Amino acid sequence: MIALSLADVSQAVDGALHLGVGATITDVVEGSVQTDSRLIEPGSIFVAKPGAVTDGHLFAPLAAERGATLLIVERLLDLPVTQIVVADAVAALGDLAGAVVARVRAAGGLRIVGVTGSNGKTTTKNLLRSMLERVGPTVAPRGSFNNQVGAPMTMLEVTVDTRFLVIEMGASSEGAIAHLVRLARPDVGIVLTIGLAHAGEFGDLDATVRAKSEMVTDLLETDVAVLNADDPRVAQMAALTPARVVRFGEYGQVDVRASAVLSGRTGTTFTLHLASGQSATVVFPVLGEHHVMNALAAASAAEVLGVAIDDIVAALEATTRAERWRMEVLGGKDDVTVINDAYNASPDSMSAALKTLAQIGTPGRRTIAVLGEMAELGELAGEEHDRIGLLAVRLNISQIIVVGKAARRMHISTINEGSWDGESAYVDTPDEAFELLRSSVNPGDTVLVKSSNSAGLRFLGDRLGDLFS
């Protein structure tokens, strides 16, 4: 964190300052801000965040022992360390992040990009970071730090030298993105897709649209909204923002587009057309044609921020995977390809992954889809799992292995398709799936492992990758 006095921090979080032994209000803190006591180093700030399972206050003594110089707490603790008592530790974390970003922005030079959407946030964030790093110091989230805790933690990493800040903004309810937008005040807001991911939390698609549109409704006239013109629900957000709109897509009237898209086992080749009229051929190593849209979104924002087309293309061509456990290509032994895409899953991303599998399979060899639960779909879960099972049949996937009771309807849907001459198997656990695959995968087969994170199939994908490496 940038250097702030204890008085400054206390004012930023609207808390009551209780000085530790020998401390004064002018003392400066500038260590890392952590909510995990195991990550505390001498000089760190520990935020005692209440959790669903435990309470951060229980770990405050360990944080103090490890050298924390400041605790942000919801109740005063019997510890000889300076503490700021606040009403809500998570809200205080956000307020502190907002204050830090505002100070750095006021010093001049910091540009901020917010990224949201039902699918593709992390991939787009990673691509954009790679592009912006070629121009200047850039801060972006580690992994999927995109909620009311993760986003502020990313914001707190900025320094006076930071030129670009990329924030991934997820939401579990209406108002969550609006809150993050108010804290960070993006210069560029990206909306990727609107789909059924987390439909169980939002209730319906209309609520999802309202939540995601919060990215652009509070932008200023001097800001830029980057919108996916191929998604009608996103495209209509152009009418909701006062900002300048840059549209990206593969179809219709757009500012940034891809043409001559050709997808294969080693990635996708396409021609990138920027809003400036410049174009270039891109050899994009990331597997899956659907990731071209993420590349377009990142390129749109990068061009707005002054990144040259050569740097944009170089960043895309240097990216070999979307992210750990996202369309990650493993294996290779006996020409067996394992695609580990089991970090998350929604109906849209599951469909895209299956279409990619069907598209890249080696002629004369089998395509095998190992599928687990799509979580957080609420009352739509049953019909959406049915739909994915039917899609796998219609794509003529050679074999389907469904893992776990929550995903069993996919298996039932496939075997009910009497015209299908493929095979579907159901197993209860990833271990059973591994044993089945170990004895049945043939040379040249292509295996997709796809599920939500909670199903745990990403580790099955890793085991298969090791088996065939």
Note whether residue 402 is domain-resident.
yes
Report pLDDT for 195: 75
Note whether residue 96 is domain-resident.
no
> What CATH number is associated with residue 171?
3.40.1190.10
- Residue 123 annotated as lining a ligand binding site: yes
The percentage of the chain sitting over the pLDDT mark of 70, rounded to a whole number, equals 96
Closest by CA to 182, choosing from 201, 164, 169, is 169
Same domain membership, residue 267 and residue 125:
yes
The average confidence (pLDDT) of the chain is 92
Label residue 144 by pLDDT band (50, 70, 90).
low
Q: Which whole number is the average pLDDT over 412-441?
A: 87
- Residue 121 annotated as lining a ligand binding site: yes
> What CATH number is associated with residue 56?
3.40.1390.10
Label residue 118 by pLDDT band (50, 70, 90).
confident
Report pLDDT for 321: 79
Report pLDDT for 380: 86
408 pLDDT more than 60: yes
- Paired with 90 in beta bridges are none
- Residue 43 annotated as lining a ligand binding site: no
- Residues 359-397 have pLDDT tens digits of 988 888 999 999 999 988 888 899 999 999 999 999 999
- Residues 451-462 have pLDDT tens digits of 998 898 999 999
The domain total for the chain is 3
**Which one has a higher pLDDT value, 361 or 139?**
139
- Residue 154 annotated as lining a ligand binding site: no
Note whether residue 392 is domain-resident.
yes
**3-class SS letters over the chain:** CCCEEHHHHHHHHCCEEECCCCCCCCCEECCCEECCHHHCCCCCEEECCECCCCEHHHHHHHHHHCCCCEEEECCCCCCCCEEEECCCHHHHHHHHHHHHHHHHHHCCCCEEEEEECCCCHHHHHHHHHHHHCCCCCEECCCCCCCCCCHHHHHHCCCCCCCCEEEEECCCCCCCHHHHHHHHHCCCEEEECCCCCCCHHHHCCHHHHHHHHHHHHHCCCCCCEEEEECCCHHHHHHHHHCCCEEEEEECCCCCCEEEEEEEEECCEEEEEEECCCCCEEEEEECCCCCCHHHHHHHHHHHHHHCCCCHHHHHHHHHCCCCCECCECEEEECHHHCEEEEECCCCCHHHHHHHHHHHHHHCCCCCCEEEEECCCCCCHHHHHHHHHHHHHHHHHCCCCEEEEECHHHHHHHHHHHCCCCCCCEEEEECCHHHHHHHHHHHCCCCCEEEEECCHHHCHHHHHHHHHHHCC
Same domain membership, residue 83 and residue 175:
no
Report pLDDT for 108: 85
Note whether residue 18 is domain-resident.
yes
Domain edge (last residue) among 30, 54, 87:
87
Same domain membership, residue 164 and residue 118:
yes
**Which one has a higher pLDDT value, 199 or 240?**
240
CA 70 to chain centre: 30
Domain edge (last residue) among 317, 339, 364:
317
Owning domain of residue 53: 4-87
Distance CA 270, CA 253 (A): 18
Same domain membership, residue 293 and residue 235:
yes
196 pLDDT more than 80: no
Same domain membership, residue 242 and residue 120:
yes
- Paired with 248 in beta bridges are 228, 256
Same domain membership, residue 83 and residue 30:
yes
Note whether residue 55 is domain-resident.
yes
**Which one has a higher pLDDT value, 196 or 21?**
21
- Residue 117 annotated as lining a ligand binding site: yes
Per the CB < 8 A criterion, the answer to whether 124 and 190 are in contact is: yes
87 pLDDT more than 90: yes
Same domain membership, residue 192 and residue 73:
no
- Residue 450 annotated as lining a ligand binding site: no
The Cα diameter of the chain in Å comes to: 79
Residue 43 burial (CB count, 10 A):
15
State the Cα torsion 126-131-132-137 to the nearest 10°: 80
Same domain membership, residue 155 and residue 212:
yes
Same domain membership, residue 349 and residue 308:
no
Note whether residue 48 is domain-resident.
yes
Report pLDDT for 421: 63
Beta strand 328-331 pairing with 279-284: unpaired
Interhelix angle 381-394/408-415, rounded to 10 degrees, is 40
252 pLDDT more than 90: no
Report pLDDT for 420: 57
Label residue 289 by pLDDT band (50, 70, 90).
confident
Same domain membership, residue 279 and residue 238:
yes
Least confident of 180-189, 374-383, 414-423, 434-443: 414-423
> What CATH number is associated with residue 337?
3.90.190.20
264 pLDDT more than 90: no
Q: Which whole number is the average pLDDT over 305-328?
A: 91
Note whether residue 364 is domain-resident.
yes
Same domain membership, residue 130 and residue 82:
no
Report pLDDT for 113: 98
213 pLDDT more than 90: yes
202 pLDDT more than 70: no
Note whether residue 92 is domain-resident.
no
- Residue 344 annotated as lining a ligand binding site: no
Enter the tokens of residue 27.
């003392």
**Angle (nearest 5°) at CA 56 between 52 and 60:** 170
Domain edge (last residue) among 87, 118, 147:
87
Alpha carbon separation from 64 to 1, 17, 56, 164 (Å, rounded): 18, 16, 12, 33
The percentage of the chain sitting over the pLDDT mark of 90, rounded to a whole number, equals 76
Sheet holding 188-191, edge to edge: 138-139, 164-168, 111-116, 188-191, 224-228, 244-249, 256-264, 267-273, 279-284
**CB-based contacts of 287, cutoff 8 Å, min separation 6:** 265, 266, 267, 268, 321, 327, 329, 339, 356, 360
Q: 6-33 burial, b if ≥16 CB within 10 A, otherwise e?
A: bebbbebbebebbebeebeeeeebebbb
Same domain membership, residue 250 and residue 353:
no
- Global pTM reads 0.88
